[in-house]
A and B are shown apart, each in its own frame.
Chain A
Amino acid sequence: MKKNHKNKFKTPEGYFEGFNERLFQHLEEEHSIPSIIPKADGFNVPEGYFDSVYGAVVKKVQEKPVKVISLKTYRPFYYAAAVLAILLALRLGWDQNQEINFEDLASADIEAYLEDSDLGLSSYEIAEVVNLEDISLADMTEKSFEDETILEYLDENVEDLDDLDLNYEELE
Protein backbone atom coordinates (compact mmCIF):
# COMPACT_ATOMS: atom_id res chain seq x y z
CA MET A 1 0.00 0.00 0.00
CA LYS A 2 1.21 3.51 -0.85
CA LYS A 3 1.59 5.93 1.99
CA ASN A 4 0.99 9.62 1.69
CA HIS A 5 3.25 11.13 4.35
CA LYS A 6 1.45 14.45 4.28
CA ASN A 7 -2.04 13.36 5.30
CA LYS A 8 -1.72 9.74 6.42
CA PHE A 9 -4.41 8.53 3.99
CA LYS A 10 -3.61 5.45 1.94
CA THR A 11 -4.73 4.19 -1.46
CA PRO A 12 -4.77 0.58 -2.71
CA GLU A 13 -1.71 -0.57 -4.68
CA GLY A 14 -1.87 0.59 -8.34
CA TYR A 15 -4.98 2.73 -7.70
CA PHE A 16 -3.82 5.77 -9.68
CA GLU A 17 -2.16 3.74 -12.47
CA GLY A 18 -5.45 2.09 -13.40
CA PHE A 19 -7.69 5.09 -12.66
CA ASN A 20 -8.11 6.35 -16.26
CA GLU A 21 -8.92 2.90 -17.60
CA ARG A 22 -11.54 2.28 -14.89
CA LEU A 23 -13.09 5.72 -15.45
CA PHE A 24 -13.46 5.23 -19.21
CA GLN A 25 -14.80 1.70 -18.71
CA HIS A 26 -17.39 3.19 -16.36
CA LEU A 27 -18.31 5.83 -19.00
CA GLU A 28 -18.64 3.19 -21.72
CA GLU A 29 -20.86 1.01 -19.52
CA GLU A 30 -23.02 4.05 -18.90
CA HIS A 31 -23.32 4.64 -22.64
CA SER A 32 -24.35 1.04 -23.28
CA ILE A 33 -27.60 1.75 -21.39
CA PRO A 34 -30.30 2.55 -24.00
CA SER A 35 -30.35 6.31 -24.45
CA ILE A 36 -33.24 8.62 -25.30
CA ILE A 37 -31.11 10.04 -28.13
CA PRO A 38 -32.61 8.86 -31.45
CA LYS A 39 -30.49 6.47 -33.53
CA ALA A 40 -31.20 8.29 -36.80
CA ASP A 41 -30.98 12.02 -37.42
CA GLY A 42 -33.56 12.24 -40.23
CA PHE A 43 -31.32 13.45 -43.07
CA ASN A 44 -31.61 11.93 -46.55
CA VAL A 45 -30.29 12.64 -50.05
CA PRO A 46 -31.89 12.88 -53.52
CA GLU A 47 -32.25 9.61 -55.43
CA GLY A 48 -28.99 8.68 -57.24
CA TYR A 49 -27.10 11.65 -55.77
CA PHE A 50 -23.94 9.73 -54.88
CA ASP A 51 -23.63 8.39 -58.47
CA SER A 52 -23.34 11.98 -59.72
CA VAL A 53 -20.66 13.24 -57.31
CA TYR A 54 -17.57 12.14 -59.27
CA GLY A 55 -18.83 13.65 -62.57
CA ALA A 56 -19.68 16.96 -60.87
CA VAL A 57 -16.28 17.18 -59.17
CA VAL A 58 -14.36 16.39 -62.38
CA LYS A 59 -16.39 18.99 -64.27
CA LYS A 60 -15.44 21.63 -61.70
CA VAL A 61 -11.76 20.56 -61.71
CA GLN A 62 -11.61 20.85 -65.49
CA GLU A 63 -13.40 24.20 -65.67
CA LYS A 64 -11.37 26.50 -67.92
CA PRO A 65 -10.12 29.84 -66.59
CA VAL A 66 -12.35 32.85 -67.32
CA LYS A 67 -11.76 34.22 -70.85
CA VAL A 68 -9.60 37.34 -70.83
CA ILE A 69 -11.02 40.23 -72.87
CA SER A 70 -8.38 42.14 -74.85
CA LEU A 71 -7.85 45.72 -73.76
CA LYS A 72 -6.61 46.72 -77.22
CA THR A 73 -9.74 48.64 -78.23
CA TYR A 74 -9.43 50.91 -75.22
CA ARG A 75 -5.86 51.94 -76.08
CA PRO A 76 -6.64 55.55 -77.19
CA PHE A 77 -8.43 56.17 -73.88
CA TYR A 78 -5.39 54.91 -71.96
CA TYR A 79 -3.10 57.34 -73.86
CA ALA A 80 -5.47 60.21 -73.07
CA ALA A 81 -5.69 59.15 -69.40
CA ALA A 82 -1.88 58.91 -69.16
CA VAL A 83 -1.42 62.43 -70.59
CA LEU A 84 -4.05 63.80 -68.18
CA ALA A 85 -2.37 62.06 -65.23
CA ILE A 86 1.04 63.57 -66.15
CA LEU A 87 -0.44 67.06 -66.50
CA LEU A 88 -2.22 66.76 -63.17
CA ALA A 89 0.92 65.49 -61.45
CA LEU A 90 2.96 68.42 -62.79
CA ARG A 91 0.31 70.92 -61.77
CA LEU A 92 0.00 69.53 -58.25
CA GLY A 93 3.80 69.49 -57.83
CA TRP A 94 4.01 65.80 -57.15
CA ASP A 95 6.83 65.02 -54.76
CA GLN A 96 8.59 62.10 -56.39
CA ASN A 97 10.61 61.29 -53.29
CA GLN A 98 7.47 60.48 -51.35
CA GLU A 99 6.90 56.72 -51.36
CA ILE A 100 4.02 54.94 -49.77
CA ASN A 101 5.17 52.23 -47.39
CA PHE A 102 3.39 49.52 -45.43
CA GLU A 103 3.90 51.70 -42.31
CA ASP A 104 1.76 54.43 -43.94
CA LEU A 105 -1.31 52.21 -43.75
CA ALA A 106 -3.44 52.86 -40.71
CA SER A 107 -3.80 49.85 -38.41
CA ALA A 108 -7.56 50.26 -38.79
CA ASP A 109 -7.23 49.78 -42.60
CA ILE A 110 -5.19 46.59 -42.15
CA GLU A 111 -7.65 45.27 -39.57
CA ALA A 112 -10.60 46.11 -41.84
CA TYR A 113 -8.90 44.30 -44.76
CA LEU A 114 -8.24 41.17 -42.68
CA GLU A 115 -11.77 41.29 -41.29
CA ASP A 116 -13.52 41.79 -44.65
CA SER A 117 -11.50 39.50 -46.90
CA ASP A 118 -11.69 35.80 -46.39
CA LEU A 119 -8.09 34.65 -46.44
CA GLY A 120 -9.13 31.01 -46.61
CA LEU A 121 -6.60 30.06 -43.95
CA SER A 122 -7.42 27.60 -41.22
CA SER A 123 -6.03 28.09 -37.73
CA TYR A 124 -3.58 25.26 -38.48
CA GLU A 125 -2.34 27.05 -41.61
CA ILE A 126 -1.96 30.34 -39.74
CA ALA A 127 -0.08 28.52 -36.97
CA GLU A 128 2.41 27.24 -39.55
CA VAL A 129 3.48 30.74 -40.64
CA VAL A 130 3.24 32.59 -37.33
CA ASN A 131 6.16 32.09 -35.00
CA LEU A 132 4.43 31.81 -31.65
CA GLU A 133 7.69 31.82 -29.72
CA ASP A 134 8.14 35.54 -30.47
CA ILE A 135 4.60 36.44 -29.43
CA SER A 136 3.42 36.93 -25.87
CA LEU A 137 -0.10 37.47 -24.59
CA ALA A 138 0.77 41.16 -24.06
CA ASP A 139 1.27 41.58 -27.86
CA MET A 140 -2.29 40.48 -28.53
CA THR A 141 -4.07 42.69 -26.04
CA GLU A 142 -3.88 46.33 -25.08
CA LYS A 143 -4.63 45.61 -21.45
CA SER A 144 -2.52 43.45 -19.17
CA PHE A 145 -4.28 40.84 -17.12
CA GLU A 146 -3.56 39.62 -13.65
CA ASP A 147 -2.74 35.89 -13.39
CA GLU A 148 -5.77 35.48 -11.17
CA THR A 149 -8.08 36.97 -13.84
CA ILE A 150 -6.66 34.60 -16.50
CA LEU A 151 -7.08 31.57 -14.23
CA GLU A 152 -10.66 32.61 -13.41
CA TYR A 153 -11.43 32.95 -17.16
CA LEU A 154 -9.92 29.54 -17.97
CA ASP A 155 -11.79 27.94 -15.10
CA GLU A 156 -15.13 29.29 -16.35
CA ASN A 157 -14.67 28.90 -20.10
CA VAL A 158 -12.48 25.89 -20.85
CA GLU A 159 -14.30 22.59 -20.91
CA ASP A 160 -11.55 20.50 -22.43
CA LEU A 161 -8.04 21.04 -21.10
CA ASP A 162 -6.63 19.51 -24.29
CA ASP A 163 -7.79 22.64 -26.14
CA LEU A 164 -5.12 24.59 -24.30
CA ASP A 165 -2.38 22.40 -25.80
CA LEU A 166 -0.28 22.86 -22.68
CA ASN A 167 3.35 21.84 -22.69
CA TYR A 168 3.59 20.15 -19.33
CA GLU A 169 7.37 19.75 -19.60
CA GLU A 170 7.74 23.54 -19.62
CA LEU A 171 5.43 23.88 -16.66
CA GLU A 172 7.40 21.48 -14.52
Chain B
Amino acid sequence: MVQPPKRPLLSTEETLVLELKNKATQAQAFEVLVNTYKERLYWHIRRIVLNHDDTDDVLQNTFIKVYRSIDGFKGESKLYSWMYRIATNESLTFLKQKSKKSGISNEELQETMIENLQSDVYFEGDEIQLKLQKALNTLPEKQKLVFNMKYFQEMKYEEISEVLETSVGGLKASYHLAVKKIESYLTDSD
Protein backbone atom coordinates (compact mmCIF):
# COMPACT_ATOMS: atom_id res chain seq x y z
CA MET B 1 0.00 0.00 0.00
CA VAL B 2 1.32 3.39 -0.97
CA GLN B 3 1.73 5.70 2.00
CA PRO B 4 0.63 9.31 1.52
CA PRO B 5 3.56 11.76 1.65
CA LYS B 6 4.21 12.83 5.19
CA ARG B 7 3.60 16.49 6.02
CA PRO B 8 6.50 18.14 7.83
CA LEU B 9 5.67 18.43 11.53
CA LEU B 10 5.03 21.95 12.74
CA SER B 11 7.37 23.28 15.40
CA THR B 12 5.96 24.31 18.78
CA GLU B 13 6.44 27.94 17.76
CA GLU B 14 4.60 27.50 14.44
CA THR B 15 1.74 25.73 16.25
CA LEU B 16 1.56 28.57 18.76
CA VAL B 17 1.37 31.17 15.97
CA LEU B 18 -1.45 29.24 14.26
CA GLU B 19 -3.33 29.00 17.56
CA LEU B 20 -2.84 32.72 18.20
CA LYS B 21 -4.37 33.51 14.80
CA ASN B 22 -7.37 31.25 15.42
CA LYS B 23 -10.14 32.98 17.44
CA ALA B 24 -11.17 29.67 19.07
CA THR B 25 -7.70 28.95 20.51
CA GLN B 26 -6.36 32.51 20.79
CA ALA B 27 -6.96 33.12 24.51
CA GLN B 28 -5.25 29.91 25.65
CA ALA B 29 -2.36 30.36 23.22
CA PHE B 30 -1.85 33.95 24.39
CA GLU B 31 -1.52 32.75 27.98
CA VAL B 32 1.13 30.24 26.87
CA LEU B 33 2.92 32.97 24.92
CA VAL B 34 2.97 35.44 27.84
CA ASN B 35 4.07 32.80 30.34
CA THR B 36 6.82 31.53 28.02
CA TYR B 37 8.38 34.88 27.19
CA LYS B 38 7.51 37.23 30.11
CA GLU B 39 10.75 36.75 32.04
CA ARG B 40 13.10 36.87 29.06
CA LEU B 41 11.43 39.97 27.62
CA TYR B 42 11.24 41.60 31.08
CA TRP B 43 15.02 41.40 31.57
CA HIS B 44 15.67 42.54 28.03
CA ILE B 45 13.49 45.65 28.59
CA ARG B 46 14.72 46.24 32.16
CA ARG B 47 18.31 46.54 30.96
CA ILE B 48 17.23 49.29 28.56
CA VAL B 49 14.82 51.32 30.75
CA LEU B 50 16.43 50.37 34.13
CA ASN B 51 13.41 51.08 36.35
CA HIS B 52 10.96 48.28 37.35
CA ASP B 53 7.70 50.26 36.96
CA ASP B 54 8.69 51.54 33.51
CA THR B 55 9.72 48.02 32.52
CA ASP B 56 6.32 46.69 33.63
CA ASP B 57 4.55 49.27 31.40
CA VAL B 58 6.75 48.56 28.39
CA LEU B 59 6.43 44.77 28.87
CA GLN B 60 2.61 44.98 28.95
CA ASN B 61 2.58 47.23 25.88
CA THR B 62 4.88 44.79 24.09
CA PHE B 63 2.50 41.87 24.68
CA ILE B 64 -0.52 43.99 23.70
CA LYS B 65 1.22 44.95 20.45
CA VAL B 66 2.08 41.29 19.79
CA TYR B 67 -1.57 40.28 20.46
CA ARG B 68 -2.95 42.97 18.15
CA SER B 69 -0.42 42.43 15.35
CA ILE B 70 -0.23 38.63 15.29
CA ASP B 71 -2.42 38.43 12.15
CA GLY B 72 0.22 40.43 10.31
CA PHE B 73 3.05 38.13 11.48
CA LYS B 74 4.04 36.23 8.33
CA GLY B 75 6.59 33.93 9.93
CA GLU B 76 9.48 35.36 7.91
CA SER B 77 11.44 35.61 11.13
CA LYS B 78 11.12 33.54 14.30
CA LEU B 79 8.38 34.50 16.76
CA TYR B 80 10.81 35.20 19.60
CA SER B 81 13.03 37.45 17.45
CA TRP B 82 9.93 39.35 16.25
CA MET B 83 8.85 39.83 19.89
CA TYR B 84 12.34 40.92 20.94
CA ARG B 85 12.33 43.47 18.11
CA ILE B 86 8.97 44.84 19.29
CA ALA B 87 10.25 44.96 22.89
CA THR B 88 13.44 46.79 21.80
CA ASN B 89 11.48 49.33 19.72
CA GLU B 90 8.93 49.86 22.51
CA SER B 91 11.71 50.43 25.07
CA LEU B 92 13.64 52.89 22.91
CA THR B 93 10.42 54.75 21.96
CA PHE B 94 9.48 54.89 25.65
CA LEU B 95 12.82 56.51 26.54
CA LYS B 96 12.49 58.97 23.65
CA GLN B 97 9.01 60.02 24.81
CA LYS B 98 10.18 60.27 28.41
CA SER B 99 13.08 62.57 27.52
CA LYS B 100 10.79 64.70 25.31
CA LYS B 101 8.20 65.03 28.12
CA SER B 102 10.91 66.02 30.61
CA GLY B 103 12.43 68.47 28.13
CA ILE B 104 15.89 66.92 28.42
CA SER B 105 18.18 65.10 26.00
CA ASN B 106 18.37 61.32 25.86
CA GLU B 107 21.89 61.46 27.37
CA GLU B 108 20.69 63.58 30.31
CA LEU B 109 17.79 61.17 30.85
CA GLN B 110 20.18 58.18 30.93
CA GLU B 111 22.37 59.94 33.51
CA THR B 112 19.33 60.73 35.68
CA MET B 113 18.11 57.13 35.40
CA ILE B 114 21.48 55.83 36.64
CA GLU B 115 21.52 58.35 39.53
CA ASN B 116 17.99 57.22 40.50
CA LEU B 117 19.19 53.60 40.72
CA GLN B 118 20.88 54.39 44.03
CA SER B 119 17.51 54.97 45.69
CA ASP B 120 15.64 52.28 43.70
CA VAL B 121 14.31 49.56 46.03
CA TYR B 122 14.50 47.04 43.19
CA PHE B 123 18.19 47.65 42.57
CA GLU B 124 20.49 45.79 44.92
CA GLY B 125 23.70 46.58 43.11
CA ASP B 126 26.76 47.86 44.91
CA GLU B 127 29.36 50.35 43.71
CA ILE B 128 30.75 48.09 40.99
CA GLN B 129 27.29 47.46 39.53
CA LEU B 130 26.58 51.20 39.47
CA LYS B 131 29.89 51.73 37.71
CA LEU B 132 28.90 49.04 35.22
CA GLN B 133 25.72 50.99 34.38
CA LYS B 134 27.78 54.16 33.92
CA ALA B 135 30.18 52.25 31.68
CA LEU B 136 27.27 50.85 29.63
CA ASN B 137 25.98 54.40 29.24
CA THR B 138 29.17 55.37 27.38
CA LEU B 139 28.52 52.77 24.66
CA PRO B 140 26.65 53.40 21.40
CA GLU B 141 23.07 52.07 21.61
CA LYS B 142 23.70 48.98 19.47
CA GLN B 143 26.84 47.94 21.35
CA LYS B 144 24.93 48.28 24.62
CA LEU B 145 22.13 46.04 23.31
CA VAL B 146 24.61 43.44 22.01
CA PHE B 147 26.53 43.42 25.29
CA ASN B 148 23.41 42.99 27.45
CA MET B 149 21.97 40.27 25.21
CA LYS B 150 25.24 38.31 25.12
CA TYR B 151 26.69 38.88 28.59
CA PHE B 152 23.62 38.93 30.84
CA GLN B 153 20.93 37.18 28.79
CA GLU B 154 23.46 34.66 27.42
CA MET B 155 21.84 34.68 23.98
CA LYS B 156 23.65 33.02 21.06
CA TYR B 157 25.11 35.26 18.37
CA GLU B 158 22.75 33.64 15.85
CA GLU B 159 19.74 34.63 18.01
CA ILE B 160 20.99 38.20 18.51
CA SER B 161 21.65 38.37 14.77
CA GLU B 162 17.97 37.60 14.06
CA VAL B 163 16.75 40.20 16.54
CA LEU B 164 19.06 43.04 15.53
CA GLU B 165 19.24 42.01 11.85
CA THR B 166 23.05 42.26 11.88
CA SER B 167 25.64 39.73 10.70
CA VAL B 168 27.15 37.37 13.30
CA GLY B 169 30.64 38.69 12.42
CA GLY B 170 29.54 42.27 13.04
CA LEU B 171 27.99 41.28 16.37
CA LYS B 172 31.15 39.52 17.54
CA ALA B 173 33.19 42.62 16.74
CA SER B 174 30.61 44.86 18.50
CA TYR B 175 30.62 42.64 21.60
CA HIS B 176 34.41 42.55 21.73
CA LEU B 177 34.57 46.35 21.49
CA ALA B 178 31.90 46.72 24.19
CA VAL B 179 33.78 44.40 26.59
CA LYS B 180 37.04 46.26 26.01
CA LYS B 181 35.42 49.67 26.62
CA ILE B 182 33.61 48.50 29.78
CA GLU B 183 36.75 46.88 31.20
CA SER B 184 38.75 50.00 30.48
CA TYR B 185 36.06 52.22 32.11
CA LEU B 186 35.93 50.02 35.22
CA THR B 187 39.73 49.92 35.50
CA ASP B 188 40.29 53.64 34.86
CA SER B 189 37.60 54.84 37.27
CA ASP B 190 39.00 52.80 40.17
CB-nearest residue of chain B relative to A115? B100
Cα distance A61–B170 in the bound complex, in angstroms: 38
**A148 on interface, CB distance cutoff 8 Å:** no
**A109 on interface, CB distance cutoff 8 Å:** no
* Complex interface: chain A residues within 8 A of B85 (CB): 124
Contact of A57 among B60, B96, B132, B143 (CB under 8 A): B60
Q: How distant is A15 from chain B, measured CB to nearest CB, in Å?
A: 18
**A50 on interface, CB distance cutoff 8 Å:** yes
**B151 on interface, CB distance cutoff 8 Å:** yes
**B174 on interface, CB distance cutoff 8 Å:** yes
A45 near B42 (CB under 8 angstroms)? yes
B179 near A54 (CB under 8 angstroms)? no
SS class of chain B's interface: helix, strand, loop or mixed?
helix
Cα distance A27–B150 in the bound complex, in angstroms: 14
Size of the B side of the interface (Cβ < 8 Å), in residues, is 53
Given contacts A36-B183, A36-B187, A54-B34, is CB(A160)–CB(B122) below 8 Å? Answer: no
**A65 on interface, CB distance cutoff 8 Å:** no
Cα distance A35–B147 in the bound complex, in angstroms: 14
Q: How distant is A28 from chain B, measured CB to nearest CB, in Å?
A: 8
B124 near A44 (CB under 8 angstroms)? yes
* Complex interface: chain A residues within 8 A of B52 (CB): 43, 45-46, 49
Task: Give the interface of A toward B (CB within 8 A).
Answer: 20, 24, 27, 30-31, 35-38, 40-46, 49-50, 53-54, 56-58, 60-61, 118, 120, 122, 124, 159-163
3 smallest CB-CB distances across A and B, nearest first, come from A42-B125, A162-B170, A42-B129
